């Protein structure tokens, strides 16, 4: 939601603001998303100024597009600002997911038939595809907005694709844009700017890629690739806050890593360092025990030498 010019000079104005906030809460509950909100950053505000308040989160904002597709976490779609809440054909939803996954590349008719109906005869799967495309076009055009896009899904030279002329946005594309820009800025030594980009990317990651389709083969590679980027961002953020002695924030990002991958020793080491520097040496040692038990149970291995070395330093009460 964009910024609003709100006045608090009268009781009526205050009541209006209260009602507006209630409407926002209802909307968030309806879509089931845990969106994060903070005040907009002032122009030119540095990362150091932003980080002074430990409760700061990043508000993910973008200009409303004709088609908005959210794939990080639960899949959902907005058309001209209105969420599609009912899919008359489940395969139409899967078809859109697949076309979005191709990132603008046309997909052959045969590929879609084999992917969506692998056990059907070609004639039947061809008919199914036609019906599914028709259902998807009708679903995307549900708003009945005058002059709305009649050709959401194109068929050209035996291939289907999302109409490239449509003003479209995806959370995955935005996530990768922030990651790429942050990486470039970090390489150029613009560390504060890089951290801002990483924070924006992290806030966009509301869940793993198409997490409702975890057993669908074609989603696996991209899900894991995006997860790797996410882990890298969390590691960079946790290192950033350790360097700034903001250990509770570092702990928050480390725990997000471990929530998704119980065997990430780098996250355990950061947790051990953070708790030690907070004066909680016993808690730091306890995290090593958790790490050791988890690695042994899931991988039948011991923690690596770096993790063991850190543990020994903590046992000897050496500064880490």
- Is residue 89 over pLDDT 60? yes
What is the pLDDT, as a whole number, of residue 17?
Answer: 41
Residue 116 lies in a domain: yes
- Is residue 6 over pLDDT 90? no
31 and 101 fall within a common domain:
no
Distances (CA, A) of 203 to 34, 65, 182, 233: 10, 19, 14, 11
pLDDT digits (tens, 9 = 90+) for 54-77: 334 454 556 667 899 999 999 999
Q: Which residues are paired to 112 by β-bridges?
A: none
Nearest one of 30, 32, 35, 25 to 57, comparing CA atoms: 35
Tell how far CA 13 is from the center of its chain: 35
What is the pLDDT, as a whole number, of residue 150?
Answer: 55
DSSP string, the chain: --------SSHHHHHHHHHHHHHHHHHHHHHT------PPPPTT--HHHHTTSTT----------SEEEE-BSS-EEEETTEE----S-HHHHHHHHHHHHTTT--EEHHHHHHHH-TTS-HHHHHHHHHHHHHHHHHHHTTT--TT--S-SEEEETTEEEE-TTS-EEEHHHHHHHHHHHHHHHHHTT-HHHHHHHHHHHHHH--SSBTGGGTT-HHHHHHHHHHHHHHHHHHHHHHHHHHHTT-HHHHHHHHHHHHHH-TT-HHHHHHHHHHHHHTT-HHHHHHHHHHHHHHHHHHHS-PPPHHHHHHHHHHHTT---
Residue 57 lies in a domain: no
Residue 319 lies in a domain: yes
Stretch among 77-81, 175-179, 304-308 having the lowest mean pLDDT: 77-81
Residue 57 CA to residue 28 CA, distance in Å, equals 17
30 and 105 fall within a common domain:
no
Question: Where in the sequence is the domain holding 117, given as residue range(s)?
Answer: 67-166
Residue 244 lies in a domain: no
Residue 234 lies in a domain: no
Residue 150 lies in a domain: yes
What is the DSSP pairing of strand 107-108 with strand 82-83?
Answer: unpaired
What is the pLDDT, as a whole number, of residue 141?
Answer: 85
Average pLDDT over every residue of 197-207 = 98
State percent of the chain over pLDDT 90.
73
How many folded domains does the chain comprise? 3
State percent of the chain over pLDDT 70.
77
311 and 268 fall within a common domain:
yes
CATH of the domain at 100: 1.10.10.10
Mean pLDDT (the chain) is: 84
- Is residue 27 over pLDDT 60? no
Q: Select from 116, 141, 166 the last residue of a domain.
A: 166
Band (pLDDT 50/70/90 cuts) for residue 34 is very low
Structure tokens at 252: 């928050």
What is the pLDDT, as a whole number, of residue 55?
Answer: 34
- Is residue 84 over pLDDT 80? yes
Structure tokens at 319: 């500064």
pLDDT digits (tens, 9 = 90+) for 126-168: 999 999 999 999 999 865 444 445 589 999 999 999 999 988 9
Counting beta carbons within 10 angstroms of the beta carbon of residue 137, is it exposed (0 to 12), middle (13 to 18) or buried (19 or more)?
Answer: middle
What is the pLDDT, as a whole number, of residue 151?
Answer: 81
- Is residue 49 over pLDDT 70? no
Q: Select from 166, 193, 214 the last residue of a domain.
A: 166
Q: Select from 133, 166, 199 the last residue of a domain.
A: 166
């Amino acid at each position: 939601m964009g910024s609003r010019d709100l006045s608090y000079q009268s009781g009526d104005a205050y009541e209006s603001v209260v009602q507006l906030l209630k409407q926002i809460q209802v909307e968030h509950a309806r879509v089931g998303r845990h969106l994060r909100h903070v005040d907009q950053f002032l122009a030119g505000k540095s990362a150091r100024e932003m980080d002074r308040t430990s409760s700061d989160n990043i508000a993910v904002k973008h200009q409303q597009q004709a088609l908005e597709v959210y794939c990080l976490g639960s899949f959902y779609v907005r058309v001209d600002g209105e969420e599609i809440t009912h899919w008359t054909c489940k395969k139409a939803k899967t078809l859109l997911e697949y076309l979005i996954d191709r990132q603008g590349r046309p997909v052959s008719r045969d590929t879609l038939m084999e992917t969506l109906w692998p056990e059907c005869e070609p004639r039947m799967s061809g008919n199914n595809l036609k019906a599914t495309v028709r259902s998807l076009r009708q679903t995307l055009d549900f708003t009945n907005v005058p002059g709305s896009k009649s050709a959401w899904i194109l068929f050209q030279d035996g291939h289907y694709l999302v109409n490239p002329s449509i003003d479209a946005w995806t959370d995955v594309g935005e996530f990768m844009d922030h990651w790429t820009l942050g990486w470039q800025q970090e390489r150029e030594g613009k560390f504060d700017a890089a951290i801002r980009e990483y924070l924006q990317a992290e806030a966009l990651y509301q869940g793993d890629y198409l997490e409702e389709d975890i057993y669908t083969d074609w989603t696996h590679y991209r899900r894991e690739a995006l997860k790797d980027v996410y882990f890298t961002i969390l590691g960079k953020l946790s290192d950033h806050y350790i360097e700034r002695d903001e250990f509770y924030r570092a702990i928050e990002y480390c725990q997000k890593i471990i929530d998704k991958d119980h065997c990430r020793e780098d996250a355990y080491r950061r947790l051990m360092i953070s708790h030690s520097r907070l004066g909680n040496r016993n808690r730091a040692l306890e995290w090593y025990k958790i790490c050791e038990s988890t690695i042994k149970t899931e991988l039948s291995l011991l923690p690596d030498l770096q993790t063991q070395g850190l543990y020994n330093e903590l046992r000897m009460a050496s500064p880490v």
